[in-house]
Each structure stands twice: as C-alpha cells, then as structure tokens.
Amino acid sequence: MTIQEGKKLIRPLLGDYRYHHSVCVSQSAKILAVRYGADENKAETAGILHDIMKDIPHDEQVQRMEGYGIVLTPLEQHAPKLWHAILGSAYLQQELGIQDKEILNAIRYHTTGRAGMTLMDKIIFTADFISADRTYSGVDEFRQMAKQDLSKVMEKELAYTISDLAGNGVPIHPDTLAAYNEITLQKI
C-alpha cells in the first residue's frame, strides 16, 4: 500500500483532527525509519494507518471486535482507549488483507508497547509520541531524545505514560509494564 492509498483509506474513517495527527505520525515514522535503518515505506504506512479505528464509536468498536472473535481481558474491557489499537490491527488484516506482521504488530502495540518490541514497534510508538501535532509539555525533549537514542526515548515515554496513568488512577496494561521493565533492565 502506498502512502496515498493509506491516506485515501483513512480519510472517511477519521475526523479532521485525527486525520492530521495520522499524517504527522506517518511523517515522524518515516524520519525515524531513516535514522534507525528500518523500512521507510513500511514505517510511513504503519504511521498513516495506526489510528484507523480511533474515531469509530466505542459501542461499534466493541461490536467489531466481537465480530473478529477478539476476547478482551477484564483490564482491557475497562480501558476503551486501548481498543482502537487491537481492533485497528485486526481490521487491517481481516478487511484489507494486510499480512505484513511488522505493520500489524506496530499498530497492535502502538498504545501499550509490549515485551520484545521490534524496531518498527518502537518507531510507531515513538512517532505517535513526538509527531508535529503534539503539544504537551516535555514533547520537545522527547523529540530531541528520539534523534539520539531510540531505547532511551522509549523508556522515558513509557515512564511518562505509566506515571500519568497511575496519577490518574487508571489501570496499567501488563504490556505497558512489560515494555518498560524490559527496556529498563536492558540498560544494566
């Protein structure tokens, strides 16, 4: 799939804000792929598609996941923000015949991360954090760090996510913790 085909595909499924975000993530993913030696076209494609199911109403996301036989854990059932990543990956595989595991997994794990993240997983996770549309305080430090050291920025992003979730009393997915713990232990 070309980037133009990806844009055409997502355009009717996303609102203007989310469409713009997806274009920005795709651009960041391409730059990171060049920097870290991943497939540029795959990164760009995964970036443009990563939030494809994000603007579908939650009740419809649940219906669609049931249709694909996806069984959520109790934690996932209580964390609707995680659904679009799980559903998006299944949708791209089932409805669009995308078979590329690197792309499918990068989208599947773009919100939580996971243990054993591939280079493409890290690129999409980080691109989503530092894309040009992001304005949270601290984003510029992440942008600078992402140019220098992908593992380091991943660790900081995961720490940021975990402390934010914990601060808000939101449950932390085991994949998020596993990603953080693994990357932290690798330093030692």
Contacts to Fe ion by CB under 5 A: 51, 128
Count of all residues that appear for the chain in the document: 188
Residue 81, contacted partner among ligand DGI, Fe ion, none, CB below 5-8 A by kind? ligand DGI
Q: Counting contacts by CB under 6 A, is residue 93 touching ligand DGI?
A: no
Using alpha carbons, select from 104, 101, 102, 100 the residue that is nearest to residue 52: 104
**Nearest residue to Fe ion, scored by beta-carbon proximity:** 128
Q: Is the dihedral of CA 95, 3, 44, 54 positive or negative?
A: negative
For residues 183 and 152, what is the distance between their CA atoms, to the nearest angstrom? Answer: 8
Is 1 within 8 Å of 98 (Cβ atoms)? Answer: yes
Can you read off the two tokens belonging to residue 158?
A: 């995961």
Per 3-state DSSP, what percentage of the chain is helix, strand, and coil (rounded to 5)? Answer: 70, 0, 30
CB of 108 to ligand DGI, least distance (A): 11
Residue 112, contacted partner among ligand DGI, Fe ion, none, CB below 5-8 A by kind? ligand DGI
CB of 115 to ligand DGI, least distance (A): 13
CB of 73 to Fe ion, least distance (A): 19
**Nearest residue to ligand DGI, scored by beta-carbon proximity:** 173
Helices 16-36 and 3-10, axial angle in degrees (round to 10): 150
Site for ligand DGI in 49-68 (CB under 6 A): 51, 54
Q: Counting contacts by CB under 6 A, is residue 132 touching ligand DGI?
A: no
CB of 71 to Fe ion, least distance (A): 21
- C-beta closer to ligand DGI: residue 40 or 55: 55
For residues 106 and 127, what is the distance between their CA atoms, to the nearest angstrom? Answer: 11
How many chain residues are in contact with ligand DGI, going by CB under 6 A?
17
For residues 125 and 157, what is the distance between their CA atoms, to the nearest angstrom? Answer: 9
Q: Counting contacts by CB under 6 A, is residue 122 touching ligand DGI?
A: no
What residue ranges bind ligand DGI (CB under 6 A)?
51, 54, 79, 81-82, 85, 110-112, 128, 161, 165, 170-173, 176
